Chain A
Amino acid sequence: MDLILAGVALLMLGAGYWALVGAPNDVTLGASQRIFYVHMGAAVVVAVAFSVAFAASLAYLWRRDQVWDRLAAASVEAGMVFASMLLATGVLWGRVVWGVWWTWDPRLTATLLLWVLFMGYLVIRDAYPDLDRRARIAAVLAIVFYADVPLDYLTVRWFKSLHPVVLTSHGAEMPPVMLLTLLMNALAMLSVWALWVVLRVRVDRSEENLAQVKHQLRWHIRQSIKEDR
Chain B
Amino acid sequence: MGAIRGWAWLVANELALEMKQRDFGAMMMGLAVLAALVLGMIEPLNPRQGAAVGAGILWMGLVYAGMLMVSHTFQREASGSVQVGLVLAIGRMPLLLSKLAVGVGYLWASQGASGLVWMALTGLDGHGAWGALIATWGLSSLGMALIAELLAAIQVQLPDRQPALWLVFMAAQVPVGLSDAGAVRAIFSGANPGQWIGALMALAVLFSALWWLLGDVIWEV
Contacts and interface: CB of A to CB of B under 8 A. Distances in A.
B209 to A, nearest CB: 10
A17 interface: no
B3 interface: no
Interface string A120-147: 1101100111000100110111011101
B210 A143 contact: yes
Interface in B143-163: 147, 150-151, 154, 157-160, 162
Chain B at the A interface: mostly helix, strand, loop or mixed?
A: helix
Given A136-B220, A141-B154, A127 B214 contact: no
A128 B159 contact: yes
A127 B172 contact: no
Contacts of B214: 140, 143-144
Nearest to B174: A113
B165 A124 contact: yes
A120 B159 contact: no
The size bracket of the interface on B is 20 to 34
A66 to B, nearest CB: 16
Nearest to A129: B159
A61 interface: yes
B175 A117 contact: no
A151 B147 CA distance: 16
B37 interface: no
Nearest to B168: A120
A144 B152 CA distance: 13
A148 interface: yes
A116 interface: yes
B217 A136 contact: yes
Given A117-B171, A117-B172, A120-B167, A144 B210 contact: yes
A146 B38 CA distance: 39
